[in-house]
Amino acid sequence: MPAEPHDATPRIERALVAPGHDGSAELLLRIRYGDGSSDSVTLDAAAAERLLDQCGATALEQLVGQPWRRLLTVLEQSGD
């Protein structure tokens, strides 16, 4: 879902596959905050799968615009 012009909810702005230090592919997400600032979060393959499932996405592009709370849930599961 695309971000509203004045939406204060942090959302995924970009999703890219990136090489990890240990030779595995990782998912690098750019989060854009309501105040205009941004930050990156990296997910391993398992967490990335969970995020795609949670968002009902079949392609990385479909993650763009998703709210950050989706990510929070995925990261909480990583700590289980």
Partner 1 sequence: MDLIIRNGRIVDGTGLPAYQGDIGIRDGRIVSVGGRIPGTAAEEIDAAGRVVAPGFIDPHTHFDVQLLWDGQARPALEHGITTVVPGNCSLSLAPLKVEHRPRLVGMFQQIEEMPDAAFDGAFEWTWESFADYLTALRSKLAVNVAPLAGHSVIRLWVMGDAANERAANADEIAGMQELLRQCLEAGAVGLSTSFVDVDERLQPVPSRYAHAEEIDALAAVLGEYGRMLQVVPEFYATDITLARVDQLAELSLAHQIPTTFSPLFDSAANPDNISRVMARVEQQMARGARVWPQVQTRPIDISFTFEVASLLFAGTPGWYRTMRLPRDEKIAALRDPERLARLLEEAEPGGNTDRFRNMRVRAVARREDDILVGRSLGDIAAERDSTPARVMVDIALANDLDASFVATDLGHNDPARVGALLAHPMVHIGASDGGAHIQSFATYGDTGYLFSRFVRERHDLTLEAAVKKITADTARIWGIAGRGLLQPGFAADITVFDPDVIDRGDEVVAHDMPEAGMRYVRGSRGIDTVVVNGAVAWSAAAGGYTEARQGQVVTR
- How many residues comprise the chain? 80
- Is residue 59 part of the contact set for partner 1 (CB under 8 A)? yes
The stretch among 2-10, 38-46, 68-76 that binds partner 1 (CB under 8 A) is 38-46
The DSSP code for 79 is T
- Tokens 């695309």 -> residue: 2
Residue whose CB is less far from partner 1, 4 or 49: 49
72 binds partner 1 (CB under 8 A): no
Which value, to the nearest 10 degrees, does the dihedral of the CA atoms of residues 55, 58, 64, 65 take?
-40
| Residue 65 found at the interface with partner 1 (CB under 8 A) | no
